Amino acid sequence: MDKKRKVVLYIASSLDGFIAGKDGDLSWLASVERPGEDYGYAEFMNEVDTVIMGRKTYDTVLSFEGEFHHKGRKCYVLSRSKSGSDGQVEYYNGDVRDLIDRLKQEKGKNIFLDGGAEAVKVLKEHDLIDEYVISIIPVFLGSGIRLFHETDNGKSMTLDSCKTFESGLVQLKYS
């Protein structure tokens, strides 16, 4: 029997619930960088062949130097204003439920929700995220871009695992 594809949010958050500081600042993530420690990211990415992200997140990714880090995977960027493809990603502005339904019908590995906050909100609102892997970084940002926006639906989750690391990072996995 084929393993069912899952939509997995794999993301880092400050202790006070922000995924970026003011103006999208991500420099605080460096506080847990350690030689040879990727907090399970490489292993996670081996289980992924499709990536979904919001347009602002994609714009941020493009600002990084080096090769597009999702090269070789099917990538969808949720956008209200862009459509078509830029050679690296396909812009998607339809109903996200249709996209997820179609992807889950196809054979393949898991689907990585790579952020940002707007994309997380939309998928969470429609109960389309199967698993949440949240790495809590031991810093308080005070303000910035929240991981979870307010929505009209709440939901109980099951803790699948909790890993702690020397850096103080705690990785929570919920389904």
Q: Are 77 and 90 in contact (CB under 8 A)?
A: yes
- Which domains are seen in the chain, by residue range? 7-174 (3.40.430.10)
What is the per-residue pLDDT for 1? 45
pTM above 0.75, yes or no: yes
Q: What is the C-alpha to C-alpha distance for residues 140 and 116, in angstroms, rounded to an integer? A: 19
Residue-by-residue DSSP string for 122-158: HHHHTT---EEEEEEES----SSEESS---S------
Q: Residue 96, by phi and psi: left (phi above 0), alpha (psi -120 to 50) or beta?
A: alpha
Q: Are 78 and 122 in contact (CB under 8 A)?
A: yes
What is the per-residue pLDDT for 120? 95
Amino acid occupying residue 3: K
Q: Exposure pattern of 11-48 as b/e (b: 16+ CB <10 Å)?
A: bbbbeeebbbbeeeeeebbeebeeeeeebeeeeebeeb
Q: Are 128 and 155 in contact (CB under 8 A)?
A: no
**Could you read off the pLDDT tens digit of each residue along the chain, which spans 175 residues?**
457 999 999 999 999 999 999 988 999 999 999 999 999 999 999 999 999 999 999 988 888 877 788 889 999 999 999 999 998 999 999 999 999 999 999 999 999 999 999 999 999 999 999 999 999 999 999 999 999 988 877 889 999 999 999 999 999 999 9
Q: Residue 168, by phi and psi: left (phi above 0), alpha (psi -120 to 50) or beta?
A: left
